[in-house]
């Protein structure tokens, strides 16, 4: 009987280990890209000019290597190769964005480009043919210049322009696209762009523009959501959210900075999440109060954070079917010292009289803007659950800023470490997470960094007119993660050749081996009972 008990105990422990390696059965893995960063064809077939086209063409010094996105990875012509890459990795979904000026060259719905419509039709159909679900971002920073010249996101009419744009997209693609993200990283569009003035549209106005943009963007998202709910939900049963960029913020010194960290999270995350996901709607109350007090001290007669009407609160509240967010980095927050004036989302916040510091133990890739802190992903998920409840969360971006390195073990470590933290949040903190999206599928034009920073799990040779794509070692690793539904894949997988996706041992094999061993062990145990 002693042997029987030993076998049973070993079986239980082995079963627990096998289970611990797995994500939930319905968990999905994907990868992402964005139109301006990969498509090229900047003026092909009548495409209109975007604010990024204008920036790179009029200010060569804006981009670190003086490059543009005119050709980029040439996905406008090489989209079949992109789908093949997604297919050979076994992606469950591919997140890409639609270029507003490629569909509507002037930004308005009176002129719809048939070539632009056909391009995205072909891409969507090819993905579905390979069993890959399209996850479509409506707006990933490439605003048509005509709309920018009218004020862009600081003009309240942009919510109507965006709603009209969304109506065109739904009418064209809603029969096949079941997951939509209205806007990518609102905080970058509003706070980062207008506070720093270096991102398109290249306007520095930190006093009013970030907060006007914040309000108008939330209304634009909500109008696009309500439009779908009214006219398309009953037909196609799709789901809609937006992709927030969330910076995990923790106190620099405990207990002194605990309240400041909470205020920092509300200022950074809450202004773009609270109006949608909170039970009361509107701005976070502490931020609303703080901004009013700060604005009055500056001499304004009202808050620089414009108020929502009750009708607007109702419009926005609940306008998402899940919480989508991009996680890249974390910071510690402390009070500013005399003479310090931070720029919000970069190194501090004048409104909060606070500075941001890199957490101890953080590592870096090819840019110092992204301090790599994997535990911050779990911390953020727990914070969001505690703040907004047990709703569904989808990681819409998470990626490593590397170099042109094919044997990119650092990227593999990055993916593994973040997936491990994600798994802990699911298993131990009971956070409901439906999927993970790696940024990015392939190397691209990395905004101000040009082509010097490589996020892709596929290398793109930008010196080759054919824009040859080659899988990095991390592509092999990620394929094994997907196959095994686990971050804990075998060494044989990670060390296998990168020239082809031949069948190799993965954790999927390990799990199958677990099952086989368990069956054998229980068979042995039965003989002694």
Catalytic residues: 185, 397
Q: Two tokens at 485?
A: 């539904």
Residue appearing with tokens 């108008």: 216
Rg (CA), the chain: 24
Q: How far apart are CA 215 and CA 270, in angstroms?
A: 13
* Euclidean distance between CA atoms 409 and 150, whole angstroms: 47
**For residues 194 and 210, is the Cβ–Cβ distance under 8 A?**
yes
- Phi/psi of residue 102, nearest 5 degrees: -80, -35
- Strand-pairing partners, residue 442, are 458
Q: Which residues pair with 435 in a beta bridge?
A: 28, 394
Q: Which two tokens stand for residue 223?
A: 């109008």
Q: Which residues pair with 251 in a beta bridge?
A: 333
User: Do residues 394 and 433 lie in contact, with contact meaning Cβ atoms separated by under 8 Å?
Assistant: yes
Alpha helices in 21-50 (DSSP H): 35-38
How far, in Å, CA of 104 to CA of 28, rounded?
Answer: 32
Cβ pair 248, 379 in contact under 8 A: yes
- DSSP letter for each residue of 74-125: -HHHHHHHHHHHHHHHT-SEEEEE--HHHHSTTSSTT---HHHHHHHHHHHH
Q: What angle do CA 192, 239, 326 make, to 5 degrees?
A: 30
What dihedral angle (degrees, nearest 10) is formed by the CA atoms of 39, 41, 44, 50?
Answer: 80
Whether 453 and 366 have beta carbons less than 8 Å apart is answered as yes
Residues 36 and 99: beta-carbon distance below 8 Å: yes
Q: Which residues pair with 183 in a beta bridge?
A: 139
Three-class SS of residue 371? strand
Nearest Cα neighbor of 456 from 467, 468, 470, 441 is: 441
Q: Are 322 and 392 in contact (CB under 8 A)?
A: yes
Rounded Cα gap, residues 34 and 97, in angstroms: 5
Closest C-alpha among 358, 350, 351 to residue 333: 358
Sign for the CA dihedral angle at 506, 508, 512, 514 comes to positive
């Amino acid at each position: 009987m002693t042997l029987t008990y030993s076998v049973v105990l070993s079986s239980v422990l082995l079963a627990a280990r096998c289970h611990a390696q797995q994500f939930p059965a319905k968990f999905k893995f994907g990868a992402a890209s964005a139109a301006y960063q990969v498509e090229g064809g900047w003026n092909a077939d009548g495409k209109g000019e975007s604010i990024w086209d204008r920036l790179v063409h009029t200010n060569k010094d804006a981009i670190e290597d003086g490059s543009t996105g005119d050709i980029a990875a040439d996905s406008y012509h090489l989209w079949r190769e992109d789908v093949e890459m997604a297919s050979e990795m076994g992606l469950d979904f591919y997140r890409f964005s639609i270029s507003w000026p490629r569909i509507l060259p002037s930004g308005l719905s009176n002129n719809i480009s048939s070539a632009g419509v056909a391009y995205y039709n072909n891409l969507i159909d090819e993905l579905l043919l390979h069993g890959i679900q399209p996850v479509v971002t409506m707006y990933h920073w490439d605003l048509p210049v005509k709309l920018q010249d009218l004020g862009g996101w600081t003009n309240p009419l942009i919510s109507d322009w965006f709603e009209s744009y969304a109506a065109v997209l739904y009418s064209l693609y809603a029969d096949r696209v079941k997951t939509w993200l209205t806007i990518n990283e609102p905080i970058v569009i509003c706070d980062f762009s207008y506070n720093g003035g270096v991102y398109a549209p290249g306007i520095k106005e930190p006093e009013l523009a970030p907060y006007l943009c914040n309000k108008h963007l939330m209304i634009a998202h909500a109008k696009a959501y309500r439009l779908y709910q009214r006219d398309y939900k009953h037909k196609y049963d799709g789901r809609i959210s937006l992709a927030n960029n969330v910076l995990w913020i923790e106190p620099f010194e405990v207990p002194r900075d605990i309240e400041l960290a909470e205020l920092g999270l509300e200022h950074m995350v809450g202004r773009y999440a609270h109006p949608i996901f909170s039970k009361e709607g509107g701005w976070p109350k502490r931020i609303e109060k703080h901004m009013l007090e700060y604005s009055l001290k500056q001499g304004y007669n009202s808050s620089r954070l414009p108020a929502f009407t009750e009708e607007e609160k109702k419009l926005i509240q609940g306008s998402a079917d899940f919480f989508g967010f991009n996680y890249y980095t974390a910071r510690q927050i402390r009070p500013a010292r005399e003479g310090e004036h931070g720029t919000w989302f970069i190194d501090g916040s004048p409104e909060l009289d606070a500075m941001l510091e890199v957490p101890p133990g953080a590592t870096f890739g090819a840019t110092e803007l992204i301090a790599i802190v994997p535990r911050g992903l779990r911390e953020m998920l727990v914070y969001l659950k505690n703040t907004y409840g047990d709703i569904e969360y989808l990681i819409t971006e998470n990626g490593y800023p590397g170099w042109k390195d094919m044997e990119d073990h650092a990227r593999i470590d990055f993916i593994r470490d973040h997936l491990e933290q994600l798994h802990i949040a699911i298993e131990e903190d009971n956070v409901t997470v439906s999927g993970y999206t790696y940024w990015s599928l392939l190397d691209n034009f990395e905004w101000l960094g040009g082509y010097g920073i490589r996020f892709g799990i596929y290398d793109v040779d930008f010196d080759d007119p054919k824009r040859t794509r080659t899988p990095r070692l991390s592509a092999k690793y990620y394929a094994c993660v997907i196959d095994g539904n686990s971050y804990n894949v075998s060494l044989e997988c990670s060390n296998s050749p990168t020239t082809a996706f031949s069948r190799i041992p993965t954790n999927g094999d390990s799990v199958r081996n677990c099952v086989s061993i368990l069956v054998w062990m229980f068979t042995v145990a039965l003989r002694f009972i």
